[in-house]
Structure 1
Amino acid sequence: MDELCTMPFNLFVHLYVYEEIVNPSSAKVEQIRHTELLQAIWLSTGNIKKEDIHKFSITELDSLNLISMKTIKEQSDEREKRIAEQQKNNMLNWMGIKSNGK
């Protein structure tokens, strides 16, 4: 308690803001740490093609959808669009047609 009484007010305010607003033990911060660790592990293997590096962003690795600032509905819509596009490309590849229509 002595530390709290002798602490400069400015430092107290900064620590309070950090603890209450940033909240370093929150689920969102923990998820960011986890996804950054996953990203570092994947990218350090050397087995990732240059064109696939964008697939290893922290938002793509966020399995709990805590990092994104989008609503669940927006995330669901984007996911459905990505799945539909991938299925379309898979079908076109199976049929031997290029994705650009040629």
Structure 2
Amino acid sequence: MTAENWAEMHGYPERHTNLHTDLFGCVSAVKLRLTEAALKESLNTYYQEHDRSARDPRLAIEKEGLVAEAEKILNTLAFNPENNESWGLGDETLEERTVA
């Protein structure tokens, strides 16, 4: 995804559930009418490993709830990102450094 599309989406939605964040990211992309591009076989892709343990205090969500929430997003007239303008450290001033 381009940086511009990621910014328009406001990143992955910060939700009340600890599951299916990627699904709601895809729903947001569909709502914005973003399209998928197939990469050439020689290009690398990366996966960010993350802990899926039960230590996360957020609630899990059942399939019916997933479908209902996804339909709600897709059936609204305008795209309304769940994250506000301060998403992704938006309220922070970060020092920029060049590392050689």
Say yes or no: TM over 0.5.
no
If asked which structure has higher relative contact order (CA below 8 Å, sep 6+), I would say 2
Q: Greater helix share, 1 or 2? A: 1
Q: Higher Cα Rg: structure 1 or 2?
A: 1
TM-score (norm 1): 0.27
